[in-house]
Amino acid sequence: MRNLLSALGIGVALFALFFVTRLLNGPEAVAPGVLAAIAAYYVLARRTFKQAEQVFMDAAKALQSMPPKIDLAVSTLERAYVFAPAQFGVRSQVDTQIGMIYFLQQDFNKAMPFLKRSLAFGHWLGGAMLAVIYYKKKDHAEMKKTFDVVLKRAKAQGLAWNLYAYLLTQVGENDAAQKILVEGLKKTKNDARVNESLLAVQNGKKIKMRSYKEQWYQFHLERPPADQQQMQMGGRMSKLDRRGRWS
């Protein structure tokens, strides 16, 4: 918010400078004022996000240690809240990442408030995890509402459409799952795995999600194979360490 106000102040000041000094008349002075405000906001926002990004990198280092230092990562991320009053979007990013950390640790009660706060502006993956929590709590109405938000942000993500359809089949709503997959096929431009799921539902078969590998197992809806479990428990790559969980 502060960045926006500062940028507007710069724009108004430049407008006033041109207008008061009579270098430009009122309508003519508007254009440089607006351009100055846009440029100033871009510079200020970029600077704030760069500062927040450094905090995120410090948190990632805590997660990359063996074993991952979860409490340290969360407390490090919380330091980025200081940038929230300056810039829209920072709080949502922090909430999303903290919520995802707790979710991946299967601490769903801790994850839920963070993911709920970040739903409107956070990454779609955090919203998908929130929907899974509602599914686990058997709150299917909230699960569907959450996916309505998620799919608007993840239109091109086949995983999002398949995940929603999978959960719908799990609660016995095969017709609804088929409808979602038909829409998903259009939005993802005929994603092969969405098409496979659609054919499975149409033929009364189960949707198979294992082809997504780690992307699927992160939702804690199915146990991964033994070799992947070992990797997640302390092999070369922790489940909290994989690239993509933070984007």
- Residue recorded with tokens 């997959």: 181
Q: Is the pLDDT of residue 161 over 50?
A: yes
Q: Is the pLDDT of residue 247 over 50?
A: no
Average pLDDT score over the chain: 85
Range scoring the smallest mean pLDDT among 8-22, 44-58, 155-169: 8-22
pLDDT of residue 88: 72
Nearest CA to 229 out of 213, 212, 245 is that of 213
Q: Is the pLDDT of residue 3 over 80?
A: no
Q: Is the pLDDT of residue 85 over 70?
A: yes
Q: Is the pLDDT of residue 122 over 90?
A: no
Q: pLDDT tens-digit profile of 201-240?
A: 999 999 999 999 999 999 999 988 765 554 444 333 344 3
- Residue recorded with tokens 């146990």: 223
pLDDT of residue 229: 56
pLDDT of residue 236: 37
pLDDT of residue 223: 86
Q: Is the pLDDT of residue 166 over 60?
A: yes
**Gap between the Cα atoms of 47 and 203, Å rounded:** 53
pLDDT of residue 167: 97
Mean pLDDT on 145-160: 95
pLDDT of residue 228: 58
pLDDT of residue 231: 46
pLDDT of residue 198: 96
Q: Quickly state the pLDDT bin for 244 (edges 50, 70, 90).
A: very low
pLDDT of residue 135: 96
Structure tokens at 121: 């502006």
Q: pLDDT tens-digit profile of 18-69?
A: 667 766 676 767 787 788 788 888 888 888 888 888 888 888 888 888 888 9
* Residues 6 or more apart in contact with residue 79 via CB below 8 angstroms: 55
**Gap between the Cα atoms of 130 and 80, Å rounded:** 22
pLDDT of residue 51: 87
Structure tokens at 62: 């805590």
